[in-house]
C-alpha cells in the first residue's frame, strides 16, 4: 500500500530494518519536500514487494549502463511523472537511495543519482564514484553522485 511521505514529521515507517533508519527516513523526507516545493507533487512510496517493476527498471539501467548490481535489499520504491520527466526512486536497507531522472523528450536529461544516508559506508559496488556532500535539515549530511544515461529505457 503506497503512503505519502510527510516531510514535516519524519516517519521511519517502511524503513525500520535499516541500520541508519533515521537518516534514511530523513533522506526520503528530503526528497518529498523537494518534489512538493518544486512541482507540488506528493511523494508516495510503496513497499518493495509492491514496486517490483520500478525496482526492475532501475536495476536494469544500472546493469546495462555500468554493470552495477546493488547487493542491499530494496525496502521501498516509487515511480511517477512530473512535467515531461519520469522519476523513479529505490530506497535500500543499507541507507542507499537511487533515483532515475528520465526526460521523455528526445535529447532531454537522463541520469541515475546515488545518495548515501548519513552514517553509512560507500557500498563496494559504488566505490569507483566520487561523492559530493550536501547538508540537509531533514537528513543531516547527504553524500551524492550520479552518471548520465546513454541508452533508451
Q: Which domain holds residue 82?
A: 3-148
* DSSP-assigned letters across all residues of 41-97: ---EEEEGGG-HHHHHHHHHHHHHHH-----SPEEEEEEEEETTEEEEEEEETTSEE
Q: What is the DSSP letter of 19?
A: T
pLDDT at 106: 86
Q: What is the pLDDT of residue 25?
A: 97
- First CA to last CA across the chain, in angstroms? 26
Inter-CA distances, 26 with 13, 55, 57, 110, 122, Å: 12, 21, 25, 25, 18
Q: For residue 12, is it within any domain?
A: yes
The region, left, alpha or beta by phi > 0 then psi within -120 to 50, assigned to residue 123 is beta
Q: Report yes or no on 59 lying in a domain.
A: yes
From 87, 57, 67, select the one nearest 128 (Cα to Cα).
Answer: 67
Which cell goes with 61?
539501467
Residue 153 lies in a domain: no
Taking only the tens place, the pLDDT of each residue in 93-110 is 999 999 999 999 988 999
Domain total in the chain? 1
Residue 105 grid coordinates:
523528450
For residue 104, which of 80, 127, 126 has the smallest C-alpha distance?
80
Write down the mean pLDDT value for the chain.
96
Would residue 134 count as lying in a domain?
Answer: yes
* pLDDT tens track for 27-60: 999 999 999 999 999 999 999 999 999 999 999 9
Q: What is the pLDDT of residue 144?
A: 97
> For 110-146, how does the pLDDT look when each residue is reduced to its tens digit (9 = 90+)?
999 999 999 999 999 999 999 999 999 889 899 999 9
Residue 38 within a domain: yes
Q: Which residue has the cell 541508452?
A: 151
Asked whether residue 27 is domain-assigned, the answer is yes
For residue 1, is pLDDT > 90?
no
Amino acid at each position: 500500500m503506497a503512503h505519502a511521505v510527510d516531510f514535516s514529521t519524519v516517519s521511519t515507517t517502511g524503513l525500520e530494518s535499516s541500520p541508519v533508519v533515521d537518516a534514511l527516513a530523513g533522506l526520503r523526507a528530503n526528497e518529498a519536500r523537494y518534489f512538493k516545493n518544486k512541482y507540488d507533487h506528493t511523494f508516495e512510496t510503496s513497499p518493495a514487494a509492491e514496486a517490483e517493476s520500478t525496482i526492475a527498471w532501475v536495476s536494469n539501467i544500472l546493469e546495462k549502463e555500468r554493470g552495477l548490481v546493488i547487493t542491499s535489499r530494496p525496502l521501498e520504491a516509487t515511480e511517477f511523472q512530473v512535467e515531461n520527466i519520469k522519476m523513479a526512486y529505490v530506497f535500500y536497507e543499507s541507507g542507499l537511495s537511487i533515483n532515475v531522472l528520465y526526460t521523455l523528450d528526445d535529447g532531454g536529461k537522463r541520469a541515475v543519482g546515488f545518495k548515501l544516508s548519513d552514517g553509512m559506508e560507500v557500498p563496494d559496488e559504488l566505490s569507483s564514484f566520487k561523492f559530493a556532500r550536501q547538508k540537509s535539515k531533514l537528513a543531516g549530511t547527504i553524500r551524492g553522485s550520479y552518471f548520465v544515461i546513454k541508452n533508451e529505457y
